[in-house]
Amino acid sequence: MASEEKSASRAARQRTVAGTALASATWEVADAFEANELYQREGLTDGLPIVPPTDALVRRFLDAAGLAPGDVVATEPVRRRRITAEKVAIAAVMAGGLPEYMPVVTALVRAVARPEFGLHGCTASTGGSAPFVVVNGPIRARIGMHATHNALGNGSRANASIGRALRLVVLNVLGGVPGQLDRSTFGHPGKFTFCVAEDEEGSSWSPLSADRGVPAGASSVTVLAAESPHQIMNEWTTNPREILETYAAAIRANMLTYSIWAGHYALLMAPQQRELIAAAGWSKSDVREFIHERARVTRGDWRSVGKAAVAQRKDESRVHTALRSPDDLLLVAAGGPAGGFGVIVPPWYGAKSLAVTEIVQDQERSTP
């Protein structure tokens, strides 16, 4: 299609969206404070204040993604709940995002609705997982996502609101209300938001998206149903095996104290350790192979953490690996420049929920 035809098509689409009525219930309130009080009373927020999703704001967010209100972004596969673009836009507004974040949020919704992610199971479980999100590709820089200092903490509007928007979709569209569908015993802070961009520019590694089969130049999200992150530190060696053994030890501890079952783990490594490992000639593949070999326990090892009663039920010599294969390790470059730190993000329940990667339908990238 010629550029003039594409522009005409986009303009026609925007006129169509602008002329389509929104289906959600509306309330008249005095001001933003009263809107927040209303949402708190109705149980429509995660406990934090929201940006009131006015008709005009919702339409701006829909336009940014080129979607009409009634477009079905995804369908949750267990209870067959349809998630419309209007509901996703409302959540993105409420979360405090900007319209240009919408393509990332819609990609996330599509990803968690895939059957292999097991959204219903990980939401209803007492295990208390949260969707851990890694964003790759050009859209990271364009919308101001953060990958370095305080990578998993506060400070980035894009990181915070994108992850929060997904939580609000689960809460308000899918009924993931704590004590109702959401049966988490504890949960963890990642249930507010758990989202990071990969530090592609600061790393010699290929990005996670490439490892997951995403074409070069495309933006993507990878999402994993995850337990709380575990930070590790090893600043006392330059030996890759010794550095990585610290990560493997953290994974083994998770296997014994939480879940022994194999699945996807995420490993986030800051520049200091990445550079030492690269200088020693180790590749990402070498890292994955080492962790696959070292992150394993026997059933009998459960005795060392007070679980003798369950260890003895079956063959205690059986070896359990954290990863089904080396490729199960999601290796991500992130974090600030100083310090020998890294993070392990464990899965909710082994292979009951698998990591999913989804390409972001980035309108700006497709514009000539």
Evaluate if residue 7 carries a pLDDT over 80: no
Evaluate if residue 127 carries a pLDDT over 90: yes
Evaluate if residue 236 carries a pLDDT over 50: yes
Average per-residue pLDDT for the chain: 93
Choose between 208 and 5: higher pLDDT. Answer: 208
Query: 142, exposed or middle or buried, with CB in 10 Å at 0-12, 13-18, 19+?
Result: middle
pTM of the model: 0.92
Q: In sequence order, which residues have a C-beta less than 8 Å from that of residue 170 and are 6 or more positions away? A: 112, 119, 123, 176
The per-residue pLDDT for range 33-49, each reduced to its tens digit, is 999 999 999 999 999 99
Q: In sequence order, which residues have a C-beta less than 8 Å from that of residue 206 and are 6 or more positions away? A: 284
Q: What is the rounded average pLDDT of the residues 135-154?
A: 97
Looking at residue 21, its pLDDT comes to: 87
Q: What is the rounded average pLDDT of the residues 251-277?
A: 97
- pLDDT band at residue 364, thresholds of 50, 70 and 90? low
Evaluate if residue 286 carries a pLDDT over 70: yes
Looking at residue 363, its pLDDT comes to: 64
The per-residue pLDDT for range 163-204, each reduced to its tens digit, is 999 999 999 999 999 999 999 999 999 999 999 999 999 999
User: Of all residues in the chain, what percent carry a pLDDT higher than 90?
Assistant: 92
Looking at residue 11, its pLDDT comes to: 44
Looking at residue 365, its pLDDT comes to: 58
Gap between the Cα atoms of 194 and 355, Å rounded: 14
In the structure encoding, which two tokens stand for residue 50, read together?
């929201």
Looking at residue 38, its pLDDT comes to: 97
Evaluate if residue 366 carries a pLDDT over 90: no
Q: In sequence order, which residues have a C-beta less than 8 Å from that of residue 309 and are 6 or more positions away? A: none
User: Of all residues in the chain, what percent carry a pLDDT higher than 70?
Assistant: 93
The per-residue pLDDT for range 50-62, each reduced to its tens digit, is 999 999 999 999 9
CB 366 within 8 A of CB 301: no
Looking at residue 9, its pLDDT comes to: 44
Q: In what order do the strands lie in the sheet with 230-233?
A: 230-233, 341-345, 265-269, 329-333
